[in-house]
C-alpha cells in the first residue's frame, strides 16, 4: 500500500490505477519525488476521461525503453 502522509491520492486516480495494473506497477516503482509530482498533476484533472488518459500514459511510459522515464 502507498502511504502518503501529506498528500492524499485523488479517488479517481486510485480507481484508474486499480484498473490498470501496468500503470500501477510503474507508479509504485518510481522514486518518491516523481510519485509526488504525479499526484500533484492528478489533482488538476477535471474528468474521469482525463484521469484515465493520464493513467494510460503512465502505462505507456512503463513500456518505453527508458523506464522509468517520468520526470
Name the band, by pLDDT with cuts 50, 70 and 90, for residue 63.
confident
Task: For 9-56, write each residue's pLDDT tens digit.
Answer: 999 999 999 999 999 999 999 999 999 999 999 999 999 999 999 999
Q: How confident is the model over 58-64, as a mean pLDDT? A: 88
Provide the pLDDT confidence category of residue 1 given band limits of 50, 70 and 90.
very low
- pTM, two decimals, is 0.79
Q: Which residues contact 16 (CB under 8 A, 6 or more apart)?
A: 23, 48, 51, 52, 54, 55
Amino acid at each position: 500500500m502507498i502511504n502518503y502522509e501529506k498528500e492524499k491520492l485523488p479517488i479517481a486516480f486510485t480507481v484508474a490505477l486499480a484498473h490498470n495494473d501496468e500503470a500501477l506497477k510503474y507508479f509504485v516503482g518510481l522514486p518518491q519525488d516523481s510519485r509526488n509530482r504525479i499526484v500533484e498533476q492528478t489533482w488538476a484533472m477535471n474528468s474521469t476521461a482525463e484521469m484515465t488518459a493520464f493513467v494510460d500514459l503512465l502505462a505507456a511510459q512503463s513500456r518505453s525503453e527508458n523506464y522509468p522515464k517520468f520526470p
